[in-house]
């Protein structure tokens, strides 16, 4: 489809937060032109008057567990280990691939309403997550959650090969659930595999103080240092959470080009602590944002994550200048893409993938328009998402999902959650 957006404000996020006025043209799945407008013989399938609303790159939710929508509001106000061991694991043990498929579709509806155009999803049955995303048009990197209780390394390798060739929208990356759910032998074998493919590694790490302490008890070093010793960082990757990294860990992260994906909503609700975001930024470590799963957050709302990541940093540092709004927007739009080697959708530029959102500026919480990036981070909310486009396709517009039967998804998900809730 060829679509011309005109009468727009445009925030490209390509190195600055300058807002320009003009037009943006989409041809098929790519951005063909951004500028003041020019003559064209193009046959447009659609011409959209933006009414001076804002076009900007979509948000990247680069750590989530979409299928955990099944457990939203089922297990709250518990500590991480109680929540995981007593409430989540027994239910996940009986979840089918089809259950994950429908619960992922429910999550995708929510991503669209909050302007998310790329997710990194670590959950059970990546095959059915793949299908849910491909069918609904959601860009996704599937992340394996290798651990000593689940599918083997051979399964991960096979998925890496097979799921990377099925769809342009969905990829698969190697990941481990966490240090504490893998033994040393499995970590060593995983390292051999990532060397075979020169693959980056994604893993929950340094989420709680207890997790780090227990790793010291087991190995005499932090999880970050252990992974470094085992060569697991040799091709980059990301750690999820990174709440309890010390200076030595940060040196390793910087040296190995490991990004930190912060999950401030989940860390707040589970009282895991406040990540040292200012320090990461000072050291030049790339920081992206994720919601984590909807059972520990409990919503998939990038506006809340953006406000929390700066608000908590300001509280931690007792400094209102900490982690300014421009930096937060960069985390939410650009850095998340970089953490997954997705430079192709990191910002709005000619030739980049058309993963675009429109922010409704004609709402009270966006007025006056003195500083748009600050409005988005400090007063914005998902009600301001007027449009979500992924890969050149408009999937959500003016509160409506396009080309998807949301009621069918709600109905299927209700059946699943009824079955799982009393286990």
Residues binding Zn ion (CB under 5 A): 292
Instruction: Round to whole Å and give the CA distance between 170 and 178.
Output: 23
CA torsion through residues 411, 416, 421, 422, sign? positive
Contact 138, 109 (CB under 8 A): no
CB of residue 65 to Zn ion, shortest distance in Å: 6
Structure tokens at 343: 């430079």
Which residue lies nearer to Zn ion by CB, 114 or 267?
Answer: 267
CB of residue 335 to Zn ion, shortest distance in Å: 18
Which residue lies nearer to Zn ion by CB, 292 or 355?
Answer: 292
CB of residue 92 to Zn ion, shortest distance in Å: 13
Which residue lies nearer to Zn ion by CB, 68 or 353?
Answer: 68
Measured CA distances, 248 to 221, 223, 239, 245 (Å)? 11, 11, 15, 8
CB of residue 378 to Zn ion, shortest distance in Å: 26
Measured CA distances, 249 to 101, 227, 258, 376 (Å)? 37, 11, 11, 32
CB of residue 178 to Zn ion, shortest distance in Å: 9
CB of residue 64 to Zn ion, shortest distance in Å: 7
Distance of CA 230 to the CA centre of its chain: 27
Alpha-helical runs (H) found in 138-183: 153-163
List, in sequence order, every residue forming a beta bridge with 240; answer none if it has no partner: 204, 261
Which residue lies nearer to Zn ion by CB, 222 or 267?
Answer: 267
CB of residue 55 to Zn ion, shortest distance in Å: 31
Which residue lies nearer to Zn ion by CB, 114 or 266?
Answer: 266
Contact 409, 105 (CB under 8 A): yes
Q: Which residue is nearest to Zn ion (CB)?
A: 292
> Strand locations in 214-329, DSSP E?
237-241, 258-262, 287-289
Which residue lies nearer to Zn ion by CB, 50 or 274?
Answer: 274
Is residue 393 classed exposed, middle or buried when 0-12, 13-18 and 19+ CB atoms within 10 A define those classes?
middle
Q: Which residue has the tokens 């793949």?
A: 130
Which residue lies nearer to Zn ion by CB, 298 or 388?
Answer: 298
């Amino acid at each position: 489809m060829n679509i011309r957006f005109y009468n727009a404000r445009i925030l490209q996020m390509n190195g600055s937060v300058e807002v320009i006025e003009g037009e943006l043209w989409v041809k098929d799945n790519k951005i063909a032109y951004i500028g003041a407008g020019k003559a064209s013989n193009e046959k447009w399938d659609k011409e959209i008057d933006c009414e001076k609303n804002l076009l900007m790159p979509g948000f990247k939710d680069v750590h989530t567990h979409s299928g955990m929508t099944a457990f939203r509001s089922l297990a709250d106000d518990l500590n991480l280990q109680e929540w995981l061991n007593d409430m989540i694991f027994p239910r996940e043990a009986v979840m089918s691939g089809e259950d994950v498929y429908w619960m992922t579709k429910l999550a995708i509806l929510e991503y669209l309403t909050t302007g998310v155009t790329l997710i990194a999803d670590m959950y059970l049955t990546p095959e059915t997550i793949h299908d849910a995303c491909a069918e609904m048009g959601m860009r996704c990197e599937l992340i394996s959650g290798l651990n000593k209780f689940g599918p083997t390394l051979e399964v991960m390798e096979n998925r890496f090969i097979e799921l990377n060739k099925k769809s342009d929208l969905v990829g698969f990356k190697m990941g481990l659930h966490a240090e504490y759910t893998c033994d040393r032998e499995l970590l060593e074998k995983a390292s051999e595999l990532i060397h075979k493919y020169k693959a980056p590694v994604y893993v929950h790490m340094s989420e709680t103080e207890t997790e780090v302490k227990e790793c010291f008890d087991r190995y005499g070093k932090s999880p970050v240092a252990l992974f470094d010793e085992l060569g697991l960082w040799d091709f980059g990757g990301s750690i999820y959470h990174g709440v309890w990294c010390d200076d030595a860990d940060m040196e390793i992260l910087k040296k190995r080009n490991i990004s930190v994906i912060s999950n401030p909503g989940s860390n707040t609700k589970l009282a895991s602590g406040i990540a040292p975001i200012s320090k990461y930024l000072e050291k030049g470590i790339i920081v992206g944002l994720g919601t984590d799963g909807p059972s520990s957050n409990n919503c998939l709302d990038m506006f809340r994550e953006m406000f929390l990541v700066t608000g908590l940093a300001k509280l931690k540092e007792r400094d209102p200048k900490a982690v300014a709004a421009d930096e937060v927007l960069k985390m939410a739009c650009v850095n998340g893409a970089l953490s997954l080697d997705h430079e192709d959708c990191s910002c709005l530029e000619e030739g980049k993938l058309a993963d675009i959102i429109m922010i409704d500026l004609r709402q009270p919480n966006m007025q006056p328009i003195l500083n748009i990036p600050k409005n988005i981070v400090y007063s914005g909310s998902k009600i301001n998402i007027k449009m979500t486009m992924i890969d050149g396709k408009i999937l959500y517009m003016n509160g409506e999902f396009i080309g998807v039967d949301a009621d069918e998804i709600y109905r299927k998900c209700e059946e699943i959650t009824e079955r799982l809730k009393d286990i």
